[in-house]
Structure 1
Amino acid sequence: MNPDSQSHLEPIFSLVEPLVEAAGHDLYDIHQNGGTLAVLVDSEEGLGVDDLSGLSRSLSAALDEHDPIPGRYTLEISTPGVERRLRQEKHFVGAVGETVNIRTNPGPEGRRRVVGVLVAVEDGVLTIETSDLDASKVPLTEIEKARTVFEWGPAPKPGSSGKKNGSNNNHKGGSRR
């Protein structure tokens, strides 16, 4: 991962982070894609539409006042989501125990993709337990792209209502008046 690829966003981080923290949330990431500036915000308690719209108003006002971005852009405020990009070491530390999908830069081993459970982040190196129970070591410097993978729980058994107590609301017999 190239930390310098985002260096032009540092003034925006410096401007936005205190405002996000003052609202009781955490600044997860900022990235710019074309004419869109995406600000990703997270919170232990979760964020609702009112939280995001309030942040949008305050961040928009601050960005308009300080004007750190040349030209026109669209400001997008959202949460990282369940399948979130991992770009900073703190993102990987926060994802320990989760399934991750890592694409590495081409290297001597030629490995391009590692999928498994992230079990540790130490000294800039990830340890990922893959499906064959091998522990793959991946240095952060070799990562081209990474994200968490949302895993669906087991599907309900056919014919079951999905309720644990076995009760249902279907009434049999005559009508109730």
Structure 2
Amino acid sequence: MDYLKKVEQLAEEIITNEGMELVFVEFVPEGKRWILRIYIDKDGGVTIKDCQKISNQISYELDVEDLIPHSYTLEVSSPGIDRVVGKKKDFERFAGEKIRIQFKGDIGGRKKVEGILRGVDEKDNVVVETDDGEFKVPLPQIKKANLKREIKF
């Protein structure tokens, strides 16, 4: 999916120009349709108006560029409470928080890990403290990672 990289670059430029941050892009099948999800954030959080503005701009540019070879639905949203973590700087930024990481395959007999995020080491491994000790996941092996925040009332 080479076009997904181009979509990500296009979205990053639009979102950055609006003073926001591109958190994560995913293109996934749901039933018989494809969903292009773009998660955005900014200091203080994003509003529905922010999502609508970015959605309109990205939708227009995607129509002009015609990057995606089949039909899809575009969704732009905030990362939410279980924020997606995908960039090296995010793994450093959210050190100390609970995280769940799914792998692109098998690492040490596991397909996922959950624990306290400790950051990124000098070899670009994401370090997670689990009940069994420290577990390292190479950045390129991460399929998806989410913070596991608890809602407190």
Structure 1 residues 124-148: Cα deviation after superposition (integer angstroms, max 9, x where no partner): 112222246x333333344444221
How many residue pairs match? The answer is 147
Query: What RMSD in Å do the two structures reach over aligned CA positions?
Result: 2.2
| One-letter identity of the residue aligned with 1:146 | A
Contact 2:39–2:76, Cα closer than 8 Å, also in 1: yes
| One-letter identity of the residue aligned with 1:30 | V
Distance 1:82 1:65, change over 3 A: same
The separation in 2 between residues aligned to 1:149 and 1:110, in whole angstroms, is 23
Contact 2:95–2:118, Cα closer than 8 Å, also in 1: yes
Task: Note the residue ranges of structure 2 that are not aligned, 5 or more in a row.
Answer: none
Aligned to 1:127: 127
The separation in 1 between residues aligned to 2:35 and 2:145, in whole angstroms, is 21
Contact 2:102–2:144, Cα closer than 8 Å, also in 1: yes
Structure 1 residues 84-115: Cα deviation after superposition (integer angstroms, max 9, x where no partner): 333333332232121011234324x3234422
The separation in 1 between residues aligned to 2:131 and 2:62, in whole angstroms, is 45
Aligned to 1:73: 72
Aligned to 2:101: 102
The separation in 1 between residues aligned to 2:93 and 2:84, in whole angstroms, is 12
Q: Whose strand proportion is higher, 1 or 2?
A: 2
**1:1-177 to 2 correspondences below 5 Å:** 7-34=2-29, 35-104=34-103, 105-107=105-107, 109-122=108-121, 123-131=123-131, 134-153=133-152
Query: Which structure's CA Rg is the greater one?
Result: 1
Q: TM-score, normalised by structure 2?
A: 0.81
Counting aligned pairs with the same residue, the percent is: 31
Task: Note the residue ranges of structure 1 that are not aligned, 5 or more in a row.
Answer: 1-5, 156-177
| One-letter identity of the residue aligned with 2:8 | F
Q: TM-score, normalised by structure 1?
A: 0.71
Q: Which moved more, 1:46-55 or 1:95-104?
A: 95-104
